[in-house]
Amino acid sequence: MVDSTVMREVTLTLPMLPDMEIAASKTATALAEFMEMSSDKIDEVRMAVVEACINSFEHSQADDRKVEIRFVVLGNDDPERLQITIKDSGVGFAPDTVERPRIEEKLIAANKRGWGLTIIKGLMDEVEIHSGADGTTVVMSKLR
């Protein structure tokens, strides 16, 4: 079981504007580098953060057009896990009803999008999604 002591914490509030996901990915990269994650794992975290932000920007319909992101390095003597929480105050959705996209269907479909959650789940070690009428919170983590 990984110790849950908070070793380092950063919070960001980003406006939902084009390419602001890059700002979030840079913060994730800085913390993952502090943890001495491998470059491949850092890239995976970076991409997952980009996807989570884009999902929020594109689908949340949040009136405040903002997303809050909390990055936490967890561990004891050494950092063990990077936990990233992405929260919006949008309309929410039912995660259980989101079907995993299939490439053979997307190739012939007019809408080829809808890959964000699949990518996030494929790149991170743990992903939890809490969503309701007051918004959506995605909690995802990566072990060092």
Partner 1 sequence: MTEMLKVTVDRRPPLAVIYTEGYINNQGGEEIARVAYDLIEGDHTTLLLNLKGTKIVNSIGISILIEIIEKMLEIDGRLAFCNLTPTIEKTFHIMGLAQYAQIFADEEVALGELTV
Residues forming contacts to partner 1 in the complex (CB under 8 A) are: 18-23, 25, 40, 43-44, 46-47, 50-51, 54, 101-104, 106-108, 112-113, 115-116, 118-119, 122-123
Closest distance between partner 1 and the C-beta of residue 4, in Å?
27
Strand order across the 126-132 sheet = 5-15, 66-75, 79-88, 135-143, 126-132
Q: Give the nearer residue to partner 1 in terms of CB position, either 52 or 72.
A: 52
Question: From the CB of 58, what's the least distance to partner 1, in Å?
Answer: 8
Strands 126-132 and 79-88: unpaired
CB closer to partner 1 out of 44 and 80: 44
Least distance to partner 1 from the beta carbon of 16, Å? Answer: 14
* Whole-number Å distance between alpha carbons of 46 and 26: 7
Q: Which helix (H) or strand (E) holds 41?
A: helix 39-59
Q: Which of 92, 73, 81, 98 is nearest to 131 (CA)?
A: 92
Nearer Cβ to partner 1 (40/63): 40
Q: How far is the CB of 28 from partner 1 (least distance, A)?
A: 12
Which residue, 8 or 29, is less far from partner 1 as judged by CB? 29
Give the C-alpha separation, 57 to 54, whole Å.
Answer: 5
Nearest residue (CB) to partner 1, 1 versus 108: 108
Q: How many Å apart are CA 81 and CA 83, to the nearest integer?
A: 6
**Residue 81 token pair:** 């896990």
Residue 65: CB minimum distance to partner 1, A = 17
